[in-house]
Amino acid sequence: MRRTPLAWLNLVHEKTRLLVAIAGVAFAVILVFMNLGFLGSLAKTASQIYSQINAEVFLLSPQSLEISTTKSFPIQRLYQAGGIAGVERVMPLYVGYLQWRNPETRRNRSIFVYGINPDDPVFLLPELDTPENQAALRRFDTALIDRLSRPEFGPQTIGSTTEADRRRITIGGQYSLGGGFTADGTLIMSDQNFRRFFAPFPLNRINLGLVKLQPGVDPNQIAAALRQTLPNDVIVLTRSELIARERTYWISTTSTGFIFGMGVGVSCIVGVVIVYQILYTDISDHMKQYATLKAMGYRSGFLFWTVIQEAVILAVLGYIPGFAISLGLYELTLRATSGSLPIGMEFGRAVQVLLLTIGMCSLSALISVRKVVVADPAEVF
């Protein structure tokens, strides 16, 4: 026979209180998961676009913050990079925001535009290579639209026309990329069209230089070589370095990371308070019994562990529904943003939040347990 599971039986005895406690912990768990989910999707968004770009090394201005806040630099740097052994191809990328008019509501909305040379395989999107899309890219005042753009941009029917920055534009085709946090919708157009829409915009100043390497060449080596060759009006980053840089920008430099971090903190405080209330009430209700146990010869340590056990049980019982509901909410968010906000459960985060929940409940236990530890059995009778 084992020890009587006092902590468990005490919790289960008060069914309503147990349910309230579980709901409270689950609530905190959901809040934490949502905040971490948004934070994680932010980091994922930063990497998402670069994993769709067909290059291993990137050139950008030191003043560029992230892909939608870039400073242009001379295209000569890109041509210089093209001369390095091991480089297969260099491609310029132009980016910027246009005011896209929804043809139905006639409302303008900012859309993010990628300008590329139609002959360059800039994106790893096979659907861009279809003859229709290639032809559309080469037509004047025509662009391809992202299917994952928000519905507020209006219909995406191929061949329909609308206005962008007071200029007629025709939708020539579609692709799926997703704009993440930076954009509600995206367009891809040729560099010639880009120059027209963003006039005056000289094509000899580019926003991002893409360096595609020959197969089997180490990107770190080429990046090092480029850093030596190029003047310091550009910085050279490998794909993973660039992703890390953008992630740091979003999480540390903008208030976004702080906001979600704050969200996690506040959720934890809510959880601590709820669990503290429950444990404190439970201890108060059982004060005489706990004092009797002390009189019988149980040490304070036993009662301490009983309360800690109750806290851990509450943590685990609250975590399970919290986890399940969070999965549902992630799915909901994914659908609401038509997949452009890549929010999803990660194993590491699941474990991290479980530990956080247990820590949170244990903290509540530590605050509430003093009452029972210092209880003097002689005073209770």
Partner 1 sequence: MSQSITISNSVPEVNSQVEPCVVQIRHLDYYFGEGELRKQVLFDINLDLPKGQIVIMTGPSGSGKTTLLTLIGALRTVQEGSLQVLGQEIVGLSKPELVEVRRNIGFIFQAHNLFESLTAAQNVEMAIELLEDWGNKRQKAIEMLGQLGLADRVHYKPTALSGGQKQRVAIARALVNQPALILADEPTAALDKKSGREVVTLMQRLAKEHGRTILMVTHDNRILDVADRIITLVDGRLETDENLDQFVTTRDPQTLDRRMFMM
Any bridge partners for residue 263, and if so which? none
Say if strands 108-116 and 87-101 run parallel, antiparallel, or are unpaired.
Answer: antiparallel
Contact call for residue 370 and partner 1 (CB under 8 A) = no
CB of 332 to partner 1, least distance (A): 39
Residue reference for tokens 């025509």: 142
Could you tell me the sign of the dihedral formed by the alpha carbons of 135, 137, 140, 145, in that order?
positive
Handedness of CA 79, 83, 84, 90 (dihedral sign): positive
Instruction: Name the segment binding partner 1 (CB under 8 A); options: 22-30, 140-148, 203-211, 284-292.
Output: 284-292
Nearer Cβ to partner 1 (8/79): 8
The C-alpha R_g of the chain, in whole angstroms, comes to: 29
Name the segment binding partner 1 (CB under 8 A); options: 47-55, 67-75, 165-173, 288-296: 288-296
Residue 282 CB, nearest approach to partner 1 (Å): 10
Q: How far is the CB of 329 from partner 1 (least distance, A)?
A: 35
Nearer to partner 1, 103 or 377 (CB): 377
Nearest Cα to 65, choosing from 307, 253, 261? 253
Q: How far is the CB of 3 from partner 1 (least distance, A)?
A: 6
- For residue 19, the tally of other CB atoms under 10 A from its CB is 11
Based on CB atoms, which residue is closest to partner 1, 29 or 283?
Answer: 283
Q: Of 83, 126, 228, 381, which lies in the binding site for partner 1, with binding defined by CB under 8 A?
A: 381
Which residues, at least 6 apart from 211, have a Cβ–Cβ distance to it below 8 Å?
A: 55, 56, 57, 58, 59, 78, 81, 82, 87, 89, 90, 222, 226
Q: Which is nearer to partner 1, 208 or 303 (CB)?
A: 303
Q: Which is nearer to partner 1, 9 or 85 (CB)?
A: 9
Buried b (16+ CB within 10 A) or exposed e, 25-51: bbbbbbbbbbbbbbbbbbbbbbbbbbe
Piece of 52-60, 163-171, 195-203, 295-303 that binds partner 1 (CB under 8 A): 295-303
Nearer to partner 1, 97 or 304 (CB): 304
Taking residues 12 to 41 in sequence order and writing x for each that binds partner 1 by CB under 8 A, - otherwise, the string is: xxx---------------------------
Instruction: Confirm if 185 and 145 have CB atoms less than 8 A apart.
Output: yes
| One-letter identity of residue 139 | R
Q: Which is nearer to partner 1, 15 or 166 (CB)?
A: 15
Residue 201 vs 302, nearer CB to partner 1: 302
Spatial separation of the C-alpha atoms in residues 307 and 364, rounded to whole Å: 10
Binding mask 240-279 for partner 1 (x = CB under 8 A): ----------------------------------------
| Structure token pair of residue 192 | 């010639």
Binding partner 1 (rule: CB under 8 A), the pick from 76, 174, 292, 333 is 292
Structure tokens at 314: 């509450």
Contact with partner 1 (CB under 8 A) among 183, 293, 341, 360: 293
- Establish if 284 lies at the interface with partner 1 (CB under 8 A): no
Which residues partner with 163 through β-bridges? 168
Interacting residues toward partner 1 by CB under 8 A = 1-4, 6, 9-10, 12-14, 286, 288-289, 291-299, 376-378, 381
